[in-house]
Amino acid sequence: MPNTMLSFKHLLRPVLGGEERKSWCLLLLRKMMNGCNLVDNDSAVAGGVEDMYGEDIATMGQPVTPWTVSVASGYTLMRDPRHNKGVAFTERERDAHYLRGLLPPIVLSQELQEKRIMHMLRQYKVPLQRYMAMMDLQERNERLFYKLLIDNVEELLPVVYTPTVGEACQKYGSIFRRPQGLYISLKEKGKILEVLKNWPERSVQVIVVTDGERILGLGDLGCQGMGIPVGKLSLYTALGGVRPSACLPITIDVGTNNEKLLNDEFYIGLRQRRATGQEYAELLHEFMSAVKQNYGEKVLIQFEDFANHNAFELLARYSSSHLVFNDDIQGTASVVLAGLLAALKLLGGTLADHRFLFLGAGEAGTGIAELIALEMSKQTGNPIEENRKKIWLVDSKGLIVDSRKHSLQHFKKPWAHEHEPVSKLVDAVKAIKPTVLIGTSGVGKQFTREVVEAMASINEKPLIMALSNPTSQAECTAEEAYTWSEGRAIFASGSPFDPFEYDGKVFVPGQANNAYIFPGFGLGVIMSGAIRVHDDMLLAACKCIKPPYIVLPLVNFNIVEFINSKHCCIV
């Protein structure tokens, strides 16, 4: 029988008679048993299908529930988070979807439900309790979850994202309820394409994937790193407007070297040491090939929290063949450069007039440094090698200098400049005399009082960016930066800090967090039809983050400006 497609839209009527329902059910079952493909192949684009259920044009007042669900059981409908509206179902919808008696008689608007849940969330004193309540809501009522997050983004961003998501990942096995996303482990090697086909959605546009080896500044959390892709993709919807069904969180489980997790009876991942070398590379290559085969050329794959040695290699290997984006390398770089460009209004001069000192020479540090040097080249026309000389990096062994070049990892070598060895950060500050100090070390409390006072003695307005997440890993707090600099510091952090009063002035710390870049950047890439990500796109994106950036925690990403830029193209 040739492939045909049942007219589901014809079936999406408020009420069907009993005999009519039986007739359509039998027809549907017969066609499925005869091998009928319910997907119209002509409508498939980039691995997806047309919007058969009218989701994109539906309103709250329209029944948009798939017919097969509505006639199967109203009880089942109420347990489908994508279509459940709880007590917001209208009287008409309760009749149409067989919900009579399954709900209390009251009909409450989404707005009133939102008010009730926000009241409940504010009663919790422990952030992890709020996180768990939000995850429960997402698994129960997706519409209400996103309305809540969109309407209260400043208050709830720290709950579903950093810093609370870090604690959630650490305790993921203990709080685990319902699986979210796909788990691809070494057990699935050789059949990853089959695993991808188990995911119910076909029109996937964004995948956020992690192997859990370097979760925030918390280290190797193995399979429990799933909280990061889940949290990132919730922001793709809440901040970027990408449909939830088009988002797919994935964890690649190759084991963990975390002894505590290996001995934890509640750990949900493989109980073995991390696979490395060829075994790891083969699994990742199969994954990347399967994603492209299943979802097409234009699916955006965002790498999250891979360890340095894998992150750079994966980005280099697949950036020419896939639409890939490393948020730790490229996203962090873009959002920090946006902050620097905005801060110049307070500091004065151009980027090339300033000296930069980084604590941390991993993915984030070298990624930021390279984008700063690239932007300097765009502004001045000077070779990028010359601009790199204004940027200095400190790692665990001290200042990266030329005499250490033989022992450095490849991604650190461009930052090895002529200078005598310096082991301590405070001595590096005094020697280099930077105007900007940036922390990406993943280790807390490294910007000591001595370091901040040294920055303040050199600069009238020292720019200090303590970017490591979560809050416990920040190089210093906002209070410390303002107090030790006598209120002169311009401060930004990766995780949020409350406003702080010093000497009669209230300082609102800036938040240089990737949440300000990746949802808008990802949406722009999807909308433009791009099939590769280039550095010029990152430069264009950072200029689309509109200030005030360092001063206020919320900003605006101009998606129209980004898409219209000459760098956001299809090649």
Mean pLDDT of 61-68: 48
559 located within any domain: no
202 located within any domain: yes
H or E stretch covering 490: strand 490-493
Same domain for 199 and 305, yes or no, is yes
CA–CA separation, 48 and 247 (whole Å): 12
CA–CA separation, 492 and 481 (whole Å): 10
Same domain for 263 and 137, yes or no, is no
Last residue of a domain, one of 265, 294, 326: 326
Same domain for 293 and 360, yes or no, is no
Name the binding residues.
214, 304-305, 328, 469, 513
> Phi and psi for 217 in degrees, rounded to 5?
-105, 20
Same domain for 500 and 376, yes or no, is yes
% of the chain exceeding 70 in pLDDT? 83
The model's confidence at residue 68, banded by pLDDT at 50, 70 and 90, is very low
6 located within any domain: no
CA–CA separation, 351 and 435 (whole Å): 11
Name the binding residues for (S)-malate.
214, 469, 513
> Cβ(446)–Cβ(359) under 8 Å?
yes
Name the binding residues for a divalent metal cation.
304-305, 328
**Residue 215 pLDDT exceeds 80:** yes
Give the tens place of pLDDT for each residue, 489-520.
Answer: 999 998 889 999 999 999 989 888 888 889 98
Give the tens place of pLDDT for each residue, 292-320.
Answer: 999 999 999 999 999 988 999 999 999 99
Same domain for 174 and 309, yes or no, is yes
Same domain for 411 and 440, yes or no, is yes
**Residue 9 pLDDT exceeds 80:** no
CATH of the domain at 359: 3.40.50.720
| pLDDT at residue number 510 | 87
Residue of higher predicted confidence among 28 and 481: 481
**Residue 176 pLDDT exceeds 60:** yes
68 located within any domain: no
125 located within any domain: yes
| pLDDT at residue number 72 | 42
CA–CA separation, 305 and 320 (whole Å): 21
Least confident span in 13-22, 237-246, 284-293, 295-304: 13-22
Same domain for 370 and 504, yes or no, is yes
Same domain for 144 and 175, yes or no, is no
Mean pLDDT of 344-362: 94
**Residue 408 pLDDT exceeds 50:** yes
Q: What is the total count of domains within the chain?
A: 3
The model's confidence at residue 558, banded by pLDDT at 50, 70 and 90, is low
Residues involved in catalysis = 161, 232
**Residue 30 pLDDT exceeds 90:** no
Mean pLDDT of 526-531: 91
**Residue 13 pLDDT exceeds 50:** no
Last residue of a domain, one of 326, 354, 382: 326
| pLDDT at residue number 182 | 97
H or E stretch covering 75: helix 74-77
Give the tens place of pLDDT for each residue, 469-494.
Answer: 888 899 999 999 999 999 999 999 98
CA–CA separation, 523 and 527 (whole Å): 6
CATH of the domain at 177: 3.40.50.10380
The model's confidence at residue 8, banded by pLDDT at 50, 70 and 90, is very low
Q: Give Cα 463 distance to the centre of its chain.
A: 26
Query: Which residues lie below 8 Å from residue 494, measured CB to CB, with a gap of 6+?
Result: 162, 466, 467, 468, 469, 474, 511, 512, 513
- 3-state SS of 361-393 is CCHHHHHHHHHHHHHHHHHHCCCHHHHHCCEEE
| pLDDT at residue number 496 | 86
Mean pLDDT of 44-63: 42
**Residue 194 pLDDT exceeds 90:** yes
Which residue's structure tokens are 């919900």?
Answer: 99
Question: Comparing C-alpha atoms, which of 158, 183, 163 is closest to residue 173?
Answer: 183
The model's confidence at residue 14, banded by pLDDT at 50, 70 and 90, is very low
39 located within any domain: no
CATH of the domain at 96: 1.20.1370.30
- The range of the structural domain enclosing residue 152 comes to 74-160
Average pLDDT, the chain: 85
**Residue 10 pLDDT exceeds 60:** no
| pLDDT at residue number 114 | 95
Same domain for 155 and 168, yes or no, is no
**Residue 391 pLDDT exceeds 50:** yes
- Both tokens of 443, joined, read 């280790």
43 located within any domain: no
Question: Comparing C-alpha atoms, which of 238, 230, 235, 356 is closest to residue 305?
Answer: 230
Same domain for 181 and 265, yes or no, is yes
| pLDDT at residue number 83 | 87
406 located within any domain: yes
Same domain for 127 and 209, yes or no, is no
Across-strand partners of 510? 492
CA–CA separation, 236 and 413 (whole Å): 35
pTM, two decimal places? 0.81
Same domain for 205 and 314, yes or no, is yes
Last residue of a domain, one of 494, 513, 532: 513
| pLDDT at residue number 560 | 62
| pLDDT at residue number 305 | 94
Least confident span in 295-309, 448-462, 529-543: 529-543
CA–CA separation, 289 and 524 (whole Å): 24
CA–CA separation, 463 and 447 (whole Å): 12
Rg (CA), the chain: 26
Q: Helix crossing, 363-380 with 332-347: angle to 10°?
A: 50
CA–CA separation, 72 and 99 (whole Å): 12
**Residue 18 pLDDT exceeds 60:** no
